[in-house]
């Protein structure tokens, strides 16, 4: 396959203005940009199912006769259906193993590979992925022979001596119904498809691409934490170095969309002595007079970060960021030191395409929401960028395992760390849920080890990622230790279509009745006495149209019921709410936005109570 990009100059040598980059659509599912060319490996791949899981034993990576073809990105389920000639996606019951293979011609480069190398990146693939180049097993930059997880990207550096003019790339993808893996709402051995549980969506789910990167560079992993009172921004950068020595980290901040010749607003240099390998480094930049980011004024700045060697060569990345502060204080959530009511909506993207997700985000803002709760799923990183631009607050969640065990907790922590590494730079991301409704921590009320893991993770987030609010277990059964809630928000999931019952539930909730409001007690562990010391959030309600929740399915009756139920929320000392939900997904027919077109089924502004 021929690449559309024939100029493979190093990333530091292209001089495109920032504005041009912002106006052009970003074809790659990542938030940080490099000013180099890339070669998308999307398209037709050879495809074969490995029903008996013999491919490793029989060395398919050295050569195999593939029966079918498949389009990457896509899911194993869709590729299975295509191979069998079926229209709908195919379900599998226990284990699925698939192999993909394609050839690519190595792009011609203008200069020798002295400062640079080729890097191969998968936007997401999983749950278990192995990759071979010309029959050689590759190891990720993190040193993994097998990459686990299906929601975040991972990369391989390609050694020059292993590259040929024409190269063969082989990928083995495996998934199971293992309830100890981080599955979100995909079915497992424990939760079967139907109702609120969905079909699996496995495999080659995001783009894969080849690009040129420097041997000594900044990785596209950036954390941003602002101190708005002191007008400071703390940047966590990740360096990747093959040649030990002295380097300078240079940060420059521009007005977003500024032309090439526009002078920077702020800059600072940081001398570093770096050994070979990968290292994280925090640095602080003063930004006096900087405008804050909020839903009402989503002010963003452009960051250009360079790692400069002793010869003056600069390896560059760039991204946008914003200054904001989120805080749980008393009964309010404060954004930039101002109390802010959270008008939220539950969003389950499912198998939506990137373009469909874009339409959904615009539609949720049109409904009047200032918060979107992305429900236990990892999404295309460009959607986080879009939320930054629109001024939509995001509540994100770790895709949950379906059972509680030491292994499921380890998988949960690793998934959390992978997600944090890739999305901690976005001002839109303000809240994280560790668990939801006990999924993956079903023994939270009885097992001290489960509670201790959640407590330790909560404390880790407070120390390492203070730019977020953290919820321990959303919906009910929050952990109290010595009377201290191990959650920044006290949340409850309340479902009823009956107005008197709804009013009674809300009254009992604000009175501090921890039992009998939600499906399970709101507190586990030690006694907790609510005196409005934590913000109350009704983080799921409504669901009108879904048979299990009741209420009207559509039309003016549903609109009026949503409006009346919302008014009852605002009449009480509650800090925010999350209506369920944005779009239909499989059996859950309770959406108020068309899942394909993004058209509203209710009037604009219906959820805006601010």
Domain ranges of the chain: 33-214, 217-322, 339-593
Give the pLDDT band of residue 365 (cuts 50, 70, 90): very high
Q: Which helix (H) or strand (E) holds 170?
A: strand 166-176
Is the pLDDT assigned to residue 354 strictly greater than 50? yes
| Average pLDDT for 390-407 | 98
CB 579 within 8 A of CB 541: yes
What pLDDT is attached to residue 87? 67
324 neighbors 290 (Cβ within 8 angstroms): no
> DSSP 3-state assignment of 184?
coil
CATH of 217-322, one of 2.60.40.10, 3.40.50.920, 2.40.128.20, 2.40.110.10: 2.60.40.10
H or E element: which one contains 560?
Answer: helix 555-570
Q: What is the pTM of this model?
A: 0.94
Tokens of 224: 């941003």
What is the three-class DSSP state of 407? helix
Give the CATH number of domain 339-593. Answer: 3.20.20.80
d(CA 548, CA 195) in angstroms, rounded, equals 8
Q: Return the CATH architecture of domain 33-214.
A: Sandwich (2.60)
- pLDDT tens, 272-326? 999 999 999 999 999 999 999 999 999 999 999 999 999 999 999 999 999 999 9
Q: Which of 212, 207, 26, 208 is nearest to 106 (CA)?
A: 212
What is the per-residue burial (b if ≥16 Cβ within 10 Å, else e) of 110-146?
Answer: eeeeebbbbbbbbbbbbbbbbbbbeeeebebeeeeee
Q: How confident is the model at residue 259 (pLDDT cuts 50, 70, 90)?
A: confident
Give kind and range of the element (H or E) at residue 87: none
The whole-angstrom separation of Cα 361 and Cα 372 is 8
**pLDDT of amino acid 280:** 96
According to DSSP, residue 594 is labeled -
Residue 5 clears pLDDT 60, i.e. is over it:
no
**Eight-class DSSP state of 504:** H
CA dihedral 357, 358, 364, 366 (to 10 degrees): -150
Which residues have a Cβ under 8 Å from the Cβ of 253 and sit 6 or more positions away?
264, 265, 266, 267, 285, 287, 301, 302, 303, 304
Which tens digits make up the pLDDT trace of 208-246? Answer: 999 999 999 999 999 999 999 999 999 999 999 999 999
Candidates 493, 473, 499; CA nearest to 485 is 473
Question: Tell me, what's the pLDDT at 108?
Answer: 81
Q: What pLDDT shows up at residue 566?
A: 98
């Amino acid at each position: 396959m021929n690449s559309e990009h024939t100029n493979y100059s190093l990333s530091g040598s292209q001089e495109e203005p920032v504005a041009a980059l912002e106006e052009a659509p970003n074809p790659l599912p990542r938030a940080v940009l490099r000013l180099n060319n890339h070669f998308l490996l999307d398209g037709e791949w050879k495809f074969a199912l490995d029903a008996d899981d013999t491919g490793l034993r029989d060395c398919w990576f050295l050569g195999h006769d593939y029966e079918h073809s498949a389009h990457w990105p896509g899911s194993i389920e869709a590729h299975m259906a295509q191979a069998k000639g079926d229209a709908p996606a195919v379900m599998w019951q226990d284990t699925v193993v698939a192999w993909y293979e394609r050839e690519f011609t190595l792009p011609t480069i203008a200069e020798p590979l002295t400062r640079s190398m080729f890097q191969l990146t998968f936007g997401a693939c999983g749950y278990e992925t192995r990759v071979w180049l010309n029959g050689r097993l590759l190891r990720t930059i993190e040193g993994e022979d097998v990459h686990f997880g299906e929601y975040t990207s991972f990369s391989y550096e390609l050694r020059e001596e292993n590259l040929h003019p024409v190269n063969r790339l082989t990928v083995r993808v495996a998934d199971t119904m293992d309830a100890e893996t981080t599955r979100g709402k995909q079915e497992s051995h424990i939760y079967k498809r139907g109702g609120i549980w969905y079909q699996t969506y496995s495999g080659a789910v995001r783009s894969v691409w080849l690009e040129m990167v420097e041997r000594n560079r900044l990785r596209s992993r950036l954390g941003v934490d602002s101190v708005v009172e002191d007008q400071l921004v703390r940047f966590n950068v990740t360096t990747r170095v093959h040649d030990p020595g002295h380097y300078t980290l240079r940060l420059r901040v521009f007005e977003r969309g500024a032309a090439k010749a526009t002078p920077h607003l702020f800059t600072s240099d940081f001398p570093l002595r770096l050994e070979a390998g990968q290292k994280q480094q925090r640095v602080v930049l003063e930004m006096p007079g900087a405008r804050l980011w909020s839903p009402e004024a989503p002010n963003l700045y452009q960051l250009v970060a360079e790692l400069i060697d002793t010869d003056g060569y600069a390896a560059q990345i760039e991204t946008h960021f914003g200054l904001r502060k989120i805080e749980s204080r008393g009964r309010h959530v404060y954004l930039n030191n101002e109390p802010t009511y959270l008008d939220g909506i539950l969003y389950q993207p499912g198998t939506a395409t990137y373009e469909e997700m874009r339409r959904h985000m615009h539609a949720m803002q049109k409904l009047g929401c200032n918060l979107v709760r992305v429900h236990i799923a990892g999404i295309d990183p460009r959607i986080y960028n879009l939320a930054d631009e629109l001024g939509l607050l995001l509540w994100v969640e770790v895709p949950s395992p379906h059972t509680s065990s030491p292994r499921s907790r380890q998988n949960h922590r690793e998934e959390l760390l992978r997600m944090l590494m890739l999305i901690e730079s976005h001002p839109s991301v303000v809240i994280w849920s560790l668990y939801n409704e006990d999924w993956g921590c079903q023994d939270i009320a009885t097992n001290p080890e489960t509670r201790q893991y959640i407590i330790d993770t909560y404390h880790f987030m407070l120390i390492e990622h203070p730019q977020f609010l953290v919820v321990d277990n959303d919906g009910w059964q929050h952990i109290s230790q010595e009377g201290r809630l191990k959650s920044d928000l006290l949340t409850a999931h309340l479902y009823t279509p009956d107005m008197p019952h709804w009013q009674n539930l809300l009254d009992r909730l604000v009175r501090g009745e921890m039992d009998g409001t939600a499906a399970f007690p709101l507190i586990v562990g030690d006694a907790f006495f609510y005196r409005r010391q934590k913000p109350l959030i009704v983080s799921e309600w409504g669901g009108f149209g879904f048979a299990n929740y009741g209420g009207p399915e559509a039309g003016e009756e549903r609109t009026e019921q949503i409006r009346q139920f919302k008014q009852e929320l605002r009449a009480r000392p509650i800090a925010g709410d999350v209506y369920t939900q944005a779009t239909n997904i499989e059996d859950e027919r309770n959406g108020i936005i068309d899942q394909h077109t993004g058209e509203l089924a209710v009037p604009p502004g219906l959820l805006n109570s601010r």
